[in-house]
Amino acid sequence: MVDYIPSRVANVSMVDAYEALLKKAYSNLTEPTESTERFTVPEAKVYIEGKTTVLENFAEIADVVRRDKDHLMKYLLGELGTAGKIDGTRAVFNGKFEPTLINGLIKSYVEDYVICSECGKPDTRLVKDDRFLLLRCDACGGHRPVKKRKAKTEVAGTELAEGQEIDVEVQSVSKRGDGVVRMGRYIMYVPRGKPGQKVKIRITRISGSIVFTEQV
């Protein structure tokens, strides 16, 4: 004997089944990740300690960008052209470096090794594909080879001299408003220099690795 199911009850059952399937489908969706507007890298807390530069909140920055501390440190050492070490939650670099330079390098690191070029989100991870390092995004599924930065151009000759004239490109700005150029072991200050500006300068004074200049 076949049971008779009223049409109203059948319709209710179909609605319930549809809602159950809909809930299941939504449960399988990935929650939207935070946007780059809310992704804020802490400003580098930098100070000079003797003949070294200390990045006080190094571990915090590495945690926020979700990258291995050794990888971030290796990048910074390579860009600064110096030696250093991780000391607990700090990073210590041999030499004296402006906070603006350190912050600029961290920004470049985030652009190259963290932010997805497809969706602009930071929800990425570094993966090896054969000999290549890829940046894979968990938010949109995009991936790209990590951009290789251009090697630094060293100054012709082994030493700079007072009175020497050279062409430079300003990389950042100091707290005093001077342009900053990192060249080999030297930090050069260019009055009124702006980031990205190419100028001809004359070296007026050299104090250790600090070089003071004037625009020609």
Last residue of a domain, one of 83, 114, 145: 145
33 is a domain residue: no
79 is a domain residue: yes
Task: For residues 50 and 111, state if they share a domain.
Answer: yes
> Strands 210-215 and 186-190, how do they pair?
parallel
39 is a domain residue: no
The pTM of the full predicted model, rounded to 2 decimals, is 0.58
> Residue 6's pLDDT is what?
55
Cβ-based burial of 109 (10 A; exposed 0-12, middle 13-18, buried ≥19): buried
Last residue of a domain, one of 113, 145, 177: 145
Task: For residues 129 and 184, state if they share a domain.
Answer: no
Contact 189, 166 (CB under 8 A): no
- Classify 155 in phi/psi space as left (phi over 0), alpha (psi -120 to 50) or beta: beta
> Residue 32's pLDDT is what?
45
Task: For residues 206 and 123, state if they share a domain.
Answer: no
Number of domains forming the structure of the chain: 2
77 is a domain residue: yes
Residue carrying the six token digits 């979700």 = 66
> Residue 35's pLDDT is what?
46
Structure-model confidence comparison of residues 193 and 156, the more confident one: 193
- Collapse the DSSP code of 20 into the 3-class scheme (helix H, G, I; strand E, B; otherwise coil) and give the result: helix
Structure-model confidence comparison of residues 214 and 195, the more confident one: 214
Structure-model confidence comparison of residues 156 and 39, the more confident one: 39
Task: For residues 141 and 55, state if they share a domain.
Answer: yes
Task: For residues 170 and 105, state if they share a domain.
Answer: no
pLDDT in tens, 179-192: 888 887 788 899 98
Task: For residues 139 and 50, state if they share a domain.
Answer: yes
Last residue of a domain, one of 114, 145, 176: 145
14 — phi, psi (to 5°)?
Answer: -65, -40
CB neighbour list of residue 113: distance below 8 Å, 6 or more residues apart: 65, 67, 71, 75, 126, 135, 146
> Residue 49's pLDDT is what?
93
Q: Which structural domain range is residue 175 located in? A: 165-215
CB neighbour list of residue 125: distance below 8 Å, 6 or more residues apart: 66, 135, 136, 138
Does residue 50 carry a pLDDT above 60?
yes
Task: For residues 134 and 194, state if they share a domain.
Answer: no
Task: For residues 169 and 141, state if they share a domain.
Answer: no
Amino acid at residue number 92: V
- Collapse the DSSP code of 95 into the 3-class scheme (helix H, G, I; strand E, B; otherwise coil) and give the result: coil
Reported as a pLDDT band with limits 50, 70 and 90, residue 20 is low
Cβ-based burial of 137 (10 A; exposed 0-12, middle 13-18, buried ≥19): buried
Task: For residues 100 and 69, state if they share a domain.
Answer: yes
- Positive or negative, the CA dihedral 153, 193, 61, 65 is negative
Q: What is the CATH number of the domain that holds 125?
A: 3.30.70.3150
pLDDT in tens, 104-158: 889 889 988 999 888 889 999 999 877 788 899 998 888 888 865 443 434 444 4
121 is a domain residue: yes
